[in-house]
Amino acid sequence: MLTVGIIGVTGYAGSELFRILSRHPKVGELVVSSISHSGKLLSSVYPNFIGGPKVKLENSTSVVAASDVVFAALPHGEGDDIAPTCVMIGVPYIDLSADFRFGKDQETYSAWYDSEWYSDMHRKSIYGLPEMNRQKIQAAAKNFRENHEELDDENGVVIGNPGCYPTGAALAAFPALSRGVYGGGTIIVDSVSGITGGGRKPARAFHFPECYDSMTPYKVASHRHTPEISRVFSLMEGIPPSSPRPLIFTPHLAPMNRGILSTVYIPLSAEWRCGPPKPSAPRPPSDAVIEKTARIHELYRDFYRNERFVRVLPQGILPSTGRVRSSNFCDISVHIDHNGLNLIAISAIDNMVKGAAGQAVQNMNIIFGYKESTGLDALPAMF
Amino acid sequence: MLTVGIIGVTGYAGSELFRILSRHPKVGELVVSSISHSGKLLSSVYPNFIGGPKVKLENSTSVVAASDVVFAALPHGEGDDIAPTCVMIGVPYIDLSADFRFGKDQETYSAWYDSEWYSDMHRKSIYGLPEMNRQKIQAAAKNFRENHEELDDENGVVIGNPGCYPTGAALAAFPALSRGVYGGGTIIVDSVSGITGGGRKPARAFHFPECYDSMTPYKVASHRHTPEISRVFSLMEGIPPSSPRPLIFTPHLAPMNRGILSTVYIPLSAEWRCGPPKPSAPRPPSDAVIEKTARIHELYRDFYRNERFVRVLPQGILPSTGRVRSSNFCDISVHIDHNGLNLIAISAIDNMVKGAAGQAVQNMNIIFGYKESTGLDALPAMF
Amino acid sequence: MLTVGIIGVTGYAGSELFRILSRHPKVGELVVSSISHSGKLLSSVYPNFIGGPKVKLENSTSVVAASDVVFAALPHGEGDDIAPTCVMIGVPYIDLSADFRFGKDQETYSAWYDSEWYSDMHRKSIYGLPEMNRQKIQAAAKNFRENHEELDDENGVVIGNPGCYPTGAALAAFPALSRGVYGGGTIIVDSVSGITGGGRKPARAFHFPECYDSMTPYKVASHRHTPEISRVFSLMEGIPPSSPRPLIFTPHLAPMNRGILSTVYIPLSAEWRCGPPKPSAPRPPSDAVIEKTARIHELYRDFYRNERFVRVLPQGILPSTGRVRSSNFCDISVHIDHNGLNLIAISAIDNMVKGAAGQAVQNMNIIFGYKESTGLDALPAMF
Amino acid sequence: MLTVGIIGVTGYAGSELFRILSRHPKVGELVVSSISHSGKLLSSVYPNFIGGPKVKLENSTSVVAASDVVFAALPHGEGDDIAPTCVMIGVPYIDLSADFRFGKDQETYSAWYDSEWYSDMHRKSIYGLPEMNRQKIQAAAKNFRENHEELDDENGVVIGNPGCYPTGAALAAFPALSRGVYGGGTIIVDSVSGITGGGRKPARAFHFPECYDSMTPYKVASHRHTPEISRVFSLMEGIPPSSPRPLIFTPHLAPMNRGILSTVYIPLSAEWRCGPPKPSAPRPPSDAVIEKTARIHELYRDFYRNERFVRVLPQGILPSTGRVRSSNFCDISVHIDHNGLNLIAISAIDNMVKGAAGQAVQNMNIIFGYKESTGLDALPAMF
């Protein structure tokens, strides 16, 4: 049984980690820390956890020392020195901030984030999207286990857990990008998030009366997840992230708690285009569009057939964030516009689970060689 | 003082017409009809109207006979025979269904709607988007007043009040389409609506527990507002609607009552493009992007400077549906993506007001020569 | 036309005052102040007001100097020195805080609030519940007008605008208390409020993710509106507030924006009791209960027959906060429990309108002799 | 491993049973039925269950034949003939309708419900509130196991799973009723429910636009849960249900999905009363009130100290439905009004879990001798 550490457990992502790990059959003990509430019981900050495992909020040093694996759910920049410690003492480190999502690309990271850059750590970090990097994570973990005794720079396990928006966007686009469905041109990711994505700290933008019964975009053309999405799209397509395709990412807030719905517009390659013979006012989907859509649907199902957490929905059923609530699932549907020019791939995830804590636990399962769904097999509640 | 008729007053759009017109300073009397509740008091169907004007639900024939102007808030196809009667007896007719939004283009209408086609009526109908067609409406009204005595096919006033989604999309794109900002290529309209857009009739899709805390797309690449948006975009750009630009329209439902937020992606013309000299991973907006954005913002402000109901927001303030609640305003912001390739124009309207009943009253004001904001000058409540 | 001052316009109650007064036909100019945003345009703080009257945020001294009537929408204690100034210079003063709701009862006020006590002001203040104190307000206003030239302590107009919860509770109970329906014993007021009641300042308790999809009580048996409700109940019954009836007031928060629903349990007097001849397990309402309920319903309708803003609903229709949204209405239904022992009177108001800004404007209308519904006649939007 | 049957799995309570039982470590197979969707896959009706156990909707006869235990989640009256079959063939039967909640009191049942009465079944049915009837359920189960071979009327296990409102009300009042805190007089249960309580069938009352941002009472003084609450209160106090205490139950709907918050007003016995020496306007809680509250809090903690699912919250923390979401917990706080006359006990449950499916599974665990929290130990998600 593992002793698992959560640093920053009182943030929303941290509290979800606790909720999930408290039922994980391979987890024996949870040690947790919080800067702001150190010394208190976790259940005094989160009374919903009364009756669960009784844990005290410690400091990060004690957590690292006691743990077989460490999750850090801190704002970017605040956990950077913990990673080297974990590597040094041979503890796998799973980071939920943006710090380890950019591989060796310091330049891009520094253009968007203002924190220090730990070259060694970043060099060995793996982007923790299991559907893309499962084998890399397994290899790093294997190497780590086999060389556990001789710790050095080469055998640490540092996972940069993906951002919430990038997870939904990447899973929607992956088959199209890697199988020649995408034909170049601007890809647009139009996403809507629930308000837990803004975190636990009260602020005007997340004040109930200002959010309720209202939709709003934010950070249009300037959100920090843009370079992360661009990078993972490039890697999925197999082109250098330094010379990526044009991309637009527009995040919005909806008056709900959990979930991200991403509608991704992907220009089709010549092979997949199925436009009408001549221009006309829009018509309901043509036979050509319907037929190609069915083929892309088939391609997506095939692509993800072994993925436990990606559900390519039957045609006619559309993703909704409600149907993945509190689960690690990512639901996907595919469509082609009436002109036959673009794929519209739509995904729904729970931003706190597949978009954060659940995916982090999935990464832990891979590292330790457990079945990937261990502790993550609860069905979505729907409401 | 006008006697105003509302046919189909018990639907949501009809009830909003009643709410607005009950305070309109030029309206003396309201006569209203409902097929399903004929004979009852309106306030027995809508107890929120207790204490307002006491009106009985009549049939549509009595309403037409008694009115100086008729609003029809019926499903498409159900009001078609009322229009000819109104024209015949010399009563302006404002239709909130889709029936009179396609001018003479019977083919497109019939491809998407299953109702009869009244050639005479459609020929003379005007698409009731005041910001685009104010002068046409004024001319038709003038002709109507001057030839009131000799009624014939040429002098009726038939307004096809725009759809909710097309209103938000069209106002966001109008300056770009008509002033050379748009450079060709697929335009994408990604919209989110509140659930009143689904109407008053209970259905699984609008059942509270299935909507709440959940986002979902619907009718992807197949929504009936697609041809309407395509048509108005073509007219705004000045090209034939029969040979339009590629368009994608994706509607979504958010768990809220009122409002439509539309994020419209418009490829820039060569003149407006402001891409980086060489490709790189995404960077925060460059000076070139910032400068061009400011110029487009200026262009939008100038374009709409005389429009009472279009608010091009100061830069840095983004539209939110909450801030236009229960008002006839359309709020707009403009942005350019980091590659300098696309305009992102975002609009927020109240789907029941500027997207339906309010715009219809605005059209009535134009027809009768009132100040356009008469009865529509309430400030948004925000919450 | 009046020049109207609003002190504290950037709070939620202040912004609602602005929204309502901006359309008031007797209001010529609005002068407004804000401590926190002085110097800015109001529309920069509330972008929903862009396109409305262009007003700059001034300081309270300028506002008082320029106004024919002053509304203060400040936290308790912060407006106390403004009242004397207004009285001194002959300007009616309407206070939306708790400061002037306790008449001469300094002891009770000081037991619950920590601010200074201005004996002179409190002595002449009137509790601004028009349905109870209309004549007192009219008399004070008359006296004020007639003695305008000789200002002294006796002729100022100082209105203590009622609290939101007390308004809903008082209107629900008034007929029962004053007409002998109440027979003594504990009265229970169980209320649920929307979250705008918590004001504009962000806080954990009003942070969207912590409120949404959740109900919670707060300040049980210790809310400051308890003594205010007790006082107005005593005055309505005609007993000394210093020796009141037992009262319980329990406030709750519901995940919604506007509205207060109050369920008030009032033990019946011997005359009205209609219990079953012998005890049994509960049964559906007996004929005796049904008959007495109809009589109380009649009594309520009669009691409020001349009140524009109190709607005693037809039997079978129950109050809902949605149906009074953004209006000054108070909807009421009455019921008797199956044992025939208690009246259950239920009221719904919009906490920001009848519970705050709307009632304040109603008081202004009374002071200046306008029709009471002037500027307040908008019908509720329902959604 | 058990084979478990769910009859009526496509209703909301049925779907929650499926969600919970699909992770229950003692459940091997789930067989399920639905009248309206027979033959389909469950996941075609509930796409949120895609990826879970693949089960086909069968008819109730097949379900009963295949199962070791049967849950019926049907409207009252529709499952009555299944109970005798289960008893006959020796299968424990857990009914989520109202049919088996009234023991032998046919008269009360028939006064409120219109279905047939199966005397034999009702005689042996047990009200499935484990905190009250755990030992009875255990005894029946023991008898059933020991006499499994000789099935007759005396050894069946028929559980009437409590209603959602009665569960919350009963757990809030139990210690007060059974330990002499209650002193006689009317008990008032004022409850607020989320809208899943209305079930899955679309209806005007549960249509999103009519519920959202609105609170409303319903069935005031006439809700069917009134006699059930009265009965369980009587049994808890130890008096005959046919001669119960006066009770008022008022249900409300709040715009949220899950949860019931019940505020229960219980007149104190002489021993517990702590009124002020002489009447005065209300004051903040006196020392006497504070001290007695602490003692009642202690009494409650002690009373429930061995109950896994009842959390008597630390003083100062109040129940909220959000904090018990999707869990089987019932959170409780206790208060005394400022006059020292009444206990105010407040409880929060998830109406679909402790108020329905979770409690039913808790009963199954008791019947089969499992640890009571088996399959029910997920911590609440909070959002």
Is B88 a residue whose pLDDT tops 60?
Answer: yes
Q: How confident is the model at residue D117 (pLDDT cuts 50, 70, 90)?
A: confident
- Residue B288: pLDDT band with limits 50, 70, 90: very high
Chain B residues in contact with D195 (beta carbon < 8 A): 208-209, 212
Per-residue pLDDT at C152: 57
Mean pLDDT computed over C217-234: 98
Task: Give the residue from B102, B242, B248, B265 with the most A CB atoms within 10 Å of its CB, the best one to mutate.
Answer: B248
What is the predicted pLDDT for the residue at C119? 77
- Residue D193 near chain B (CB below 8 Å): no
Of C86, C164, C211, C274, which residue is the catalytic one?
C164
- Residue B177 confidence (pLDDT): 98
Closest CA to A259 of A158, A188, A191: A191
pLDDT of A144: 84
Known catalytic residue: A330? no
Chain C partners within 8 Å of B44 (Cβ): 314
Q: Where are the beta strands (DSSP E) in D268-377?
A: 310-312, 330-336, 342-349
| Contact between C2 and C68 (Cβ < 8 Å) | yes
List, for residues B149-164, the tens digit of each pLDDT value: 655 556 689 999 999 9
Contact list in B for residue D212 (CB cut-off 8 A) is 195, 208, 212, 255-257
pLDDT at A151 over 60: no
* Reported confidence tier of residue D153, pLDDT bands at 50, 70, 90: low
Angle at A190 (CA atoms; ends A188, A192), nearest 5 degrees? 165
pLDDT digits (tens, 9 = 90+) for D305-322: 999 999 999 999 999 999
**Confidence (pLDDT) at D39:** 93
pLDDT at A148: 66
Question: Which pLDDT value is given to residue D284?
Answer: 96
Write the pLDDT tens digit of every residue in A7-37.
999 999 999 999 999 999 999 999 999 998 9
- Output the pLDDT for position D279: 82
Share of chain D above pLDDT 70, in %: 98
Phi, psi of C347 (to 5 degrees): -125, 150
Rounded Cα distance, A172 and A311, in Å: 11
The pLDDT score that the predictor gives to residue B31 is 98
Of all residues in chain C, the percent with pLDDT exceeding 90 is 89
CA A138 – CA A156 distance, rounded (Å): 12
Query: What is the predicted pLDDT for the residue at A2?
Result: 96
Average pLDDT in the B293-299 region? 98
Q: Which chains touch A (3 or more CB pairs under 8 A)?
A: B, C, D
Residue D276 CB contacts under 8 Å (≥ 6 apart), including other chains: D283, D286, D288, D339, D340
Q: Give D79 or B41, the one with higher predicted confidence.
A: B41
Chain segment C323-357, per-residue pLDDT in tens: 999 999 999 999 999 999 999 999 999 999 999 99
Task: Check residue C146 and give its pLDDT.
Answer: 85
Nearest chain A CA: its distance from D378 CA (Å): 7
Task: Decide if pLDDT at C281 tops 60.
Answer: yes
Question: Which pLDDT belongs to residue D231?
Answer: 98
Minimum distance, in Å, between the CA of residue A379 and any CA atom of chain D: 6
Residue B313 CA neighbour count, 13 Å, CB half? 26
Q: What is the pLDDT of residue A150?
A: 58
Name the more confident of B140 and C279.
Answer: B140
Cα dist from C167 to A225, C225, C331, whole Å: 48, 10, 12
Q: Answer whether D339 sits within 8 Å of C283, measured CB to CB.
A: no
List pLDDT tens digits, range A208-248.
999 999 999 999 999 999 999 999 999 999 999 999 999 99
Out of A164, A211, A274, A330, pick the active-site residue.
Answer: A164
Query: Comparing C-alpha atoms, which of D5, D142, D150, D131 is closest to residue D64?
Result: D5
Cβ contacts of B198 on chain D, cutoff 8 Å: 208-209
For residue C256, give the chain A residue with the closest CA. A212
pLDDT bracket for residue A75 (50, 70, 90) = very high
Q: pLDDT class for B32, splitting at 50, 70, 90?
A: very high
pLDDT mean across residues, chain B: 95
Q: Do residues C331 and C323 make contact, with C-beta atoms less than 8 angstroms apart? A: yes
On whether the CB atoms of residues D181 and D268 are closer than 8 A, the answer is: yes
Indicate the residue of C19, C329, C377 with minimum beta-carbon distance to B23: C377
Residues 6+ apart with CB under 8 A from C2: C26, C27, C28, C29, C68, C69, C368
Whether A172 shows a pLDDT value over 70: the answer reads: yes
Q: What is the pLDDT of residue D277?
A: 79
pLDDT band at D98 (very low <50, low <70, confident <90, very high): very high
At C281, the amino acid letter reads A
B46:C329 CB<8 A = no
Average pLDDT over residues D259-275: 97
More confident residue, B81 or C215: C215
pLDDT band, very low/low/confident/very high, at C121 (cuts 50, 70, 90): confident
pLDDT tens-place string over residues D354-367: 999 999 999 999 99
Q: Please give the pLDDT value at position D144.
A: 84
Question: Between chains, do B208 and D257 touch, taking CB under 8 Å as contact?
Answer: yes
- According to DSSP, the residues that pair with B4 across neighbouring strands are B30, B69
Residue A166 has pLDDT above 60, yes or no: yes
Residue with tokens 């009250």: D132
**Which pLDDT does position C259 carry in this prediction?**
98
pLDDT band at A297 (very low <50, low <70, confident <90, very high): very high
Counting one residue from A and one from D, how many pairs have CB atoms under 8 Å apart? 82
Provide the angle, in degrees to the nearest 10, between the axes of the packed helices C130-146 and C358-367: 40
Q: Let me know: does B335 contact C75? Beta carbons within 8 Å.
A: no
Provide the shortest C-alpha distance from residue A324 to chain C (in Å). 17
Check residue D149 and give its pLDDT: 60
pTM: 0.97
Q: Is the pLDDT of residue A274 over 70?
A: yes
Provide the number of CB pairs (under 8 Å) joining chain A to chain C: 56
Q: What is the pLDDT of residues B257-271, one digit of tens each?
A: 999 999 999 999 999
Structure tokens at C368: 């200046």
Q: Decide if C263 and D190 are in contact by the 8 Å CB cutoff.
A: yes
Contact A337 B192 (CB under 8 A): no
Average pLDDT of the segment spanning B187-206: 97
C333 reaches D (C-beta below 8 A): yes
Residue B12: list chain D partners with CB under 8 A.
209
Do D208 and B212 lie within an 8 Å CB cutoff?
Answer: yes
Contacts of A17 (CB under 8 A, 6+ apart): A6, A9, A71, A73, A357, A360, A361
Average pLDDT over residues A277-289: 92
Average pLDDT for residues A104-125, to the nearest whole number? 89
Q: Which residues are CB-neighbours of A189 under 8 A, at least 6 positions away?
A: A165, A169, A229, A247, A248, A249, A250, A262, A263, A264, A265
* Across D227-232, average pLDDT: 98
Q: Residue B255 and residue D206: Cβ atoms within 8 Å?
A: no
pLDDT at C122: 82
pLDDT digits (tens, 9 = 90+) for D188-219: 999 999 999 999 999 999 999 999 999 999 99
| Residue A62 exposed, middle or buried by CB count within 10 Å (0-12, 13-18, 19+) | middle
Residues of chain D with C-beta less than 8 angstroms from the C-beta of B46: none
What pLDDT, on a 0 to 100 scale, did the predictor assign at position B152?
Answer: 56
- Inter-chain CB proximity D211 and B208 less than 8 Å: yes
Q: Is the pLDDT of residue A159 over 70?
A: yes
What local confidence, expressed as pLDDT, does residue A5 receive?
A: 98
> Does residue D237 have a pLDDT over 60?
yes
Residue of D nearest to B203 (CA): D202
Q: Which chain C residues are Cβ-neighbours of D218 within 8 angstroms?
A: 318
| pLDDT-based confidence at residue C375 (cuts at 50, 70, 90) | very high
The C-alpha atoms of residue D326 and residue A378 are separated, in whole angstroms, by: 12
The pLDDT score that the predictor gives to residue C153 is: 55
Q: Give the Cα separation of B99 and B90 in Å (integer).
A: 20
State the virtual CA torsion across C238, C239, C240, C246 in degrees, nearest 10.
-130
Find, in chain B, the residue whose alpha carbon is nearest to that of D197. B209
Q: Hey, is B369 helix, strand or coil?
A: coil
The beta strands (E) that lie in C79-222 are given as: 93-95, 126-127, 158-160, 187-193, 216-217
pLDDT at residue number D151: 53
Tell me, what's the pLDDT at D206?
98
Q: What angle do CA D16, A324, A25 make, to 5 degrees?
A: 75
> How many residue contacts between A and B have a Cβ separation below 8 Å?
236
Residue C80 predicted with pLDDT over 90: no
Residue from B215, B256, B257, B265 to probe the interface with A (highest A Cβ count within 10 Å):
B215
Please judge whether D252 and C192 are an interchain contact, meaning their C-beta atoms are less than 8 angstroms apart: yes
pLDDT digits (tens, 9 = 90+) for B47-87: 999 999 999 999 999 999 999 999 999 999 998 789 999 98
Interface-testing mutation among B193, B195, B204, B208, with chain D (most D C-beta atoms within 10 A): B208
Instruction: Tell me what pLDDT residue B190 has.
Output: 98
Q: Once rounded to an integer, what is the mean pLDDT over residues A48-52?
A: 97
B258 touches chain A (CB under 8 A): yes
Catalytic-labelled residue, pool B86, B164, B274, B330: B164
Chain D residues inside the 8 Å CB shell of B208: 195, 198, 206-208, 211-212, 255, 257
pLDDT at D44 over 70: yes
- At C142-193, the pLDDT tens digits run 988 887 665 555 668 999 999 999 999 999 999 999 999 999 999 999 999 9
Q: Are strands C260-267 and C342-349 parallel, antiparallel or unpaired?
A: antiparallel
- Please list every residue in chain C whose beta carbon sits closer than 8 Å to the beta carbon of residue A196: 209
Average pLDDT over residues C209-229: 98
Helix, strand, coil: what percent of chain C each, to 5?
35, 20, 45
| pLDDT range class, residue D221, cuts 50, 70, 90 | very high
Per-residue pLDDT at C96 exceeds 70: yes
Say if residue D150's pLDDT is above 90: no
pLDDT at position C283 = 96
Mean pLDDT for all residues in chain C: 95
Rounded distance between C-alpha atoms, residue A171 and residue A173, angstroms: 6
* Amino acid letter for position C194: G
For position D145, what pLDDT does the model report? Answer: 85
Residue B315 contacts C where some CB pair is shorter than 8 Å? no
